[in-house]
Structure 1
Amino acid sequence: MAKPRTLGQRFAMSAGVGIVAMGLFAACTSGGGDSVVDQGTSNDENAASGETVVIGFSGPAADHGWLGAINSGAIAAAESFDDVDLRIAEGTNDVTAQIAAVETFINEGVDAIVLLPSDGAALTEVAIKAMEAGIPVINVDREFSSPFAARTTILGDNYGMGVSAGTYICAELGGTDAIVAEIAGIDALPLTQDRTRGFNDALSDCGLEVSARVAADFTVQGGEAVTSQLLSANPHIDAIWNHDDDQGIGVLAAIDAAGRDEFFMVGGAGSRNAMDLIAADNSVLKATIIYPSTQAADGIALARLIAQAKTVGDLITPSVPNRIVLDAPVVTKDNVDQFIDLAFAS
């Protein structure tokens, strides 16, 4: 009887099948004659300057390193195009203020809106209003509660983060009866629930489970407080997954204060300080899982294409996808150089 494939192997196989299918499709549509597929605009056509488009951007207050990188990335992306006029609403965690900002964009008649909502459900109605006014909305990171609220949605892979973290820990610990701990973010958030679910699924695939779990609040102070409790309650741990590198500063402070180093730790998101520690290889932090801070920058790039009636040049389908989920790769000392330029400052 064949040995069941692990979750990680099944992920890899599905990706491989997709690549093969694309190759076969390309082979069927090329060959001796002209292609039967209209591939839309090419990469060269997309890069060429077009009619100026006005893009409104609104996101939460940058009270977290990752959110700061989201905002700066959006600005940098807009500045890289000479045909984009970016109008930025002041960052806010006040739902009413963000709704007002979107309504201002609608009244101004912008060509597209890139929106990272402070609360996806609460911003859904005004996003639908923009769409009904003929303004395409690009929804970033936190999803709206209706498919009619966005032309395109760009997401990080929260479930995939958990799978990546669990798969890495499984590979490091093997099939041992290990003690695995988890330091989550805010348990009330769907993103935290998705990360935990992916982590549990991956651990289960190799016969492990979470032995101890605490939840912080994505802050340095919160990370330090709950980690102190976790370490006091568990005299021995083999591996820890901390969901967020910003709160990881506090997590590592608590670990240092306790003088504990019998375990290794995996972080989450991909901060610069985390990657520097991984590269130095002189702490318990051995890896982090990317949660891309480029989502709003990607949103600006796609908003420009949509507003100019262009397509994604490398895709066969002559359109811009309506849903994009970005990868959640594992960063270790062996590949940190590939990712460090995209790291954000905590």
Structure 2
Amino acid sequence: MNTNRKVQSVTGAVAIFAALGLALTGCTNTGTSGSGSTGGSTDTAQTAQAASGPTCDLATYGGEKLDLKNAVVGFSQSEKEDNPFRIAETQSIKDEAAKIGVKKLITTNAQSTLSKQISDIQDMISQGAQALIVAPLNSDGLEPALSAAKAKKIPVITIDRKLSSGACDTYVSFLGSNFVEQGKRAADQLIKGTSGKGNIAILLGSSGNGVTTDRTKGFVDEIAAKGPDLKIVAQQTGDFARDKGQSVTEQLLQSNPDISVIYAENDEMGLGAQAAIIAAGKTPGKDIQIYSIDGTKNAVEQIVAGAYNGVIESNPRFGPLAFKTLQSFESGDKVGQDIIIEDSEYDPSNAKDKVDSAF
């Protein structure tokens, strides 16, 4: 994923999941499949299928066929690597580049600054990058860098965050989770865990972020459809940060003492909410339930401890899927403009068995 996640202690392992053969033109999100996207030493199976949506190819995008083993590839990370998601995401790209024998991988980190990400991408182009994998900081604003790549017919694969500009124009494909579906699945976990009753506070992600919009929509729509006895009593942004999630939750618990469940749009805010619940003299996981999205080991361990109630994974292991998509595109095959990576989930029934696969 997702987002501006800040973490105080980082644990977890990164795994390379299996990249499929054939021209990658789409990928299903199989939800809670037992072979879902879990890390550790287990490969994650992705399911290829004929694309149901628009595709992109070299003839349309422009450029010449490229052998990645003889190519320079650039990876632009958007956010500081002080959180499990970004660490796992970057490592997955590096691992897969080494696995397939890319001639050279250039990596940069924009440190959560849009202007730096633009200059990072432009610098990689000047260093001879022939293909780019970009984890965008924002859905908008990268146009100067994308235009520079397009002018040189350099293919761009975006991961984790979708751009507002058109696919197969300024970039080839977007690889990421279905964020609306993530919100929906979090709502389903919450409905089951609360028996469909309670007062909900939502810790929203960063304002103006497409991930926030989608995770909110999926959750709110599902609650409205399936949780008539559940009431959303408060919504406030926590900016995807643990400290902000804690301070916001402290305020919400004071103004809404009847809150019985929290939906946080990432694990970091959920863990911040957990600290606020404890500070308020209540027991997290029992007096006030917590559900969030990410799949960090820190959060999953809290489910095992009984102090957290559910987590929907946002899979950060894009390396195999990104390079397989690039390989297919550079071979002249059609690739999907939107490719969905598979996300797992954790709850009290499986967290103990799956905690080692969290990132």
**TM-score range with shorter-chain normalisation?**
0.7 to 0.9
Identify the residue that residue 310 of structure 2 maps to in structure 1.
287
TM-score by length of 1: 0.75
After superposition, the C-alpha distances for 1:169-191 in whole angstroms (9 at most, x for unaligned) are 22233454x21221222233232
Alignment of 1:183-194 (within 5 A): 183-194=203-214
Which secondary structure state, in structure 2, belongs to the residue aligned with residue 122 of structure 1? coil
Looking at structure 1, the residues matched to 235 and 251 of structure 2 have their Cα atoms a distance apart, in angstroms, of 10
Q: Which of 293, 296, 301 is the aligned partner of 1:271?
A: 296
Identify the residue that residue 315 of structure 1 maps to in structure 2.
none
Identify the residue that residue 96 of structure 2 maps to in structure 1.
77
After superposition, the C-alpha distances for 1:261-303 in whole angstroms (9 at most, x for unaligned) are 32321121111111112123x21x1110111212355324433
Identify the residue that residue 319 of structure 1 maps to in structure 2.
334
Give 1:138 shift.
Answer: 0.2
* Matching residue's letter, 1:267: S
Q: Which of 104, 108, 133 is the aligned partner of 1:89?
A: 108
Are the structure 2 counterparts of residues 122 and 73 from structure 1 closer, same or farther at C-alpha, using a change threshold of 3 Å? Answer: same
Identify the residue that residue 29 of structure 1 maps to in structure 2.
none
Give 1:212 shift.
Answer: 2.3
Give 1:241 shift.
Answer: 1.0
User: Does structure 2 conserve the Cα–Cα contact (< 8 Å) formed by 1:124 and 1:144?
Assistant: no
Give 1:63 shift.
Answer: 5.1
Looking at structure 2, the residues matched to 301 and 342 of structure 1 have their Cα atoms a distance apart, in angstroms, of 23
Give 1:192 shift.
Answer: 1.1
User: Does structure 1 conserve the Cα–Cα contact (< 8 Å) formed by 2:312 and 2:343?
Assistant: yes
Give 1:144 shift.
Answer: 2.4
Identify the residue that residue 237 of structure 2 maps to in structure 1.
215
Looking at structure 2, the residues matched to 335 and 260 of structure 1 have their Cα atoms a distance apart, in angstroms, of 25
After superposition, the C-alpha distances for 1:229-265 in whole angstroms (9 at most, x for unaligned) are 1212222333221111122332111111112132321
1:335 and 2:350 correspond: yes
Identify the residue that residue 8 of structure 1 maps to in structure 2.
none
Give 1:196 shift.
Answer: 1.1
Comparing 250-259 with 100-109, which one deviates more in the overlay?
A: 100-109
1:182 and 2:207 correspond: no
Q: Which of 148, 170, 192 is the aligned partner of 1:149?
A: 170
Are the structure 2 counterparts of residues 149 and 209 from structure 1 closer, same or farther at C-alpha, using a change threshold of 3 Å? Answer: farther
Looking at structure 2, the residues matched to 73 and 278 of structure 1 have their Cα atoms a distance apart, in angstroms, of 26
Which secondary structure state, in structure 2, belongs to the residue aligned with residue 268 of structure 1? strand
Q: Which of 115, 120, 124 is the aligned partner of 2:134?
A: 115
Identify the residue that residue 74 of structure 2 maps to in structure 1.
56
Looking at structure 1, the residues matched to 257 and 126 of structure 2 have their Cα atoms a distance apart, in angstroms, of 60
Looking at structure 2, the residues matched to 115 and 194 of structure 1 have their Cα atoms a distance apart, in angstroms, of 20
Looking at structure 1, the residues matched to 109 and 294 of structure 2 have their Cα atoms a distance apart, in angstroms, of 24
Give 1:341 shift.
Answer: 4.7
Highest relative contact order (Cα 8 Å, sep 6+), 1 or 2? 2
Which one has a larger percent helix, Structure 1 or Structure 2?
1
User: Does structure 2 conserve the Cα–Cα contact (< 8 Å) formed by 1:183 and 1:241?
Assistant: yes
* Matching residue's letter, 1:163: K
Which secondary structure state, in structure 1, belongs to the residue aligned with residue 186 of structure 2? helix
Give 1:79 shift.
Answer: 2.2
Identify the residue that residue 4 of structure 1 maps to in structure 2.
none
User: Does structure 2 conserve the Cα–Cα contact (< 8 Å) formed by 1:64 and 1:246?
Assistant: no
Looking at structure 1, the residues matched to 136 and 350 of structure 2 have their Cα atoms a distance apart, in angstroms, of 33
Gap regions ≥5 residues in structure 1: 1-10, 13-21, 26-48, 311-317
The number of aligned residues is 291
Are the structure 2 counterparts of residues 248 and 121 from structure 1 closer, same or farther at C-alpha, using a change threshold of 3 Å? Answer: same
After superposition, the C-alpha distances for 1:201-220 in whole angstroms (9 at most, x for unaligned) are 00011123412222212222
User: Does structure 2 conserve the Cα–Cα contact (< 8 Å) formed by 1:55 and 1:86?
Assistant: yes
1:225 and 2:253 correspond: no
Which secondary structure state, in structure 2, belongs to the residue aligned with residue 89 of structure 1? strand
Looking at structure 2, the residues matched to 157 and 110 of structure 1 have their Cα atoms a distance apart, in angstroms, of 29
1:298 and 2:307 correspond: no
Looking at structure 1, the residues matched to 143 and 358 of structure 2 have their Cα atoms a distance apart, in angstroms, of 30
Give 1:339 shift.
Answer: 5.1
TM-score by length of 2: 0.72
* Matching residue's letter, 1:188: G
Looking at structure 2, the residues matched to 79 and 173 of structure 1 have their Cα atoms a distance apart, in angstroms, of 46
Looking at structure 1, the residues matched to 121 and 323 of structure 2 have their Cα atoms a distance apart, in angstroms, of 16
Q: Which of 189, 195, 211 is the aligned partner of 1:168?
A: 189
Gap regions ≥5 residues in structure 2: 1-28, 31-47, 51-66
Are the structure 2 counterparts of residues 320 and 190 from structure 1 closer, same or farther at C-alpha, using a change threshold of 3 Å? Answer: closer
Identify the residue that residue 270 of structure 2 maps to in structure 1.
248
Looking at structure 1, the residues matched to 103 and 119 of structure 2 have their Cα atoms a distance apart, in angstroms, of 23
